[in-house]
């Protein structure tokens, strides 16, 4: 899969050609000789971003695991009133 390159001017003159080209491989869009954007098909994007787990699964705790956490005790010397002036 060869990456194709088009200038920003070429892209602006014929965006449909760039979209057609992106169906087979990524298309780099350059501005003043530097790559500024890459155009890919939705299928390529979905393949790149798919995960087997949902965000809920990724953030959840594994079943049966507990975390030991002791709340630190605060004494009066460590608590200060807020200065709102």
Per residue in 36-46, pLDDT (tens digit) is 999 999 999 99
pLDDT at 60: 78
Q: At 28, which CATH number?
A: 3.40.1620.10
pLDDT at 4: 92
What SS3 state is found at 16? helix
Residue 44 lies inside a defined structural domain of this protein = yes
Q: Is the pLDDT of residue 1 over 90?
A: no
Residue 48 lies inside a defined structural domain of this protein = yes
Per residue in 17-64, pLDDT (tens digit) is 999 999 999 999 999 999 999 999 999 999 888 877 777 877 777 766
Taking the C-alpha atoms of residue 34 and residue 57, their distance in angstroms, rounded to an integer, is 39
Q: What are phi and psi of 40, to 5 degrees?
A: -130, 160
Neighbours of 30 (CB within 10 A): 16
Return contacts of 69-75, CB within 8 angstroms, 24+ apart. none
Residue 34 lies inside a defined structural domain of this protein = yes
Q: Is the pLDDT of residue 79 over 80?
A: no
What SS3 state is found at 49? helix
């Amino acid at each position: 899969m060869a990456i194709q390159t088009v200038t920003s001017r070429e892209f602006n003159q014929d965006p449909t050609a760039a979209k057609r080209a992106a169906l087979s491989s990524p298309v780099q869009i350059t501005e003043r000789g530097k790559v500024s954007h890459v155009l890919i098909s939705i299928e390529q994007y979905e393949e790149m971003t798919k995960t087997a787990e949902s965000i809920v699964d990724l953030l959840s705790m594994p079943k049966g695991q507990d975390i030991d956490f002791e709340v630190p005790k605060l004494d009066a010397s460590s608590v200060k009133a807020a200065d709102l002036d």
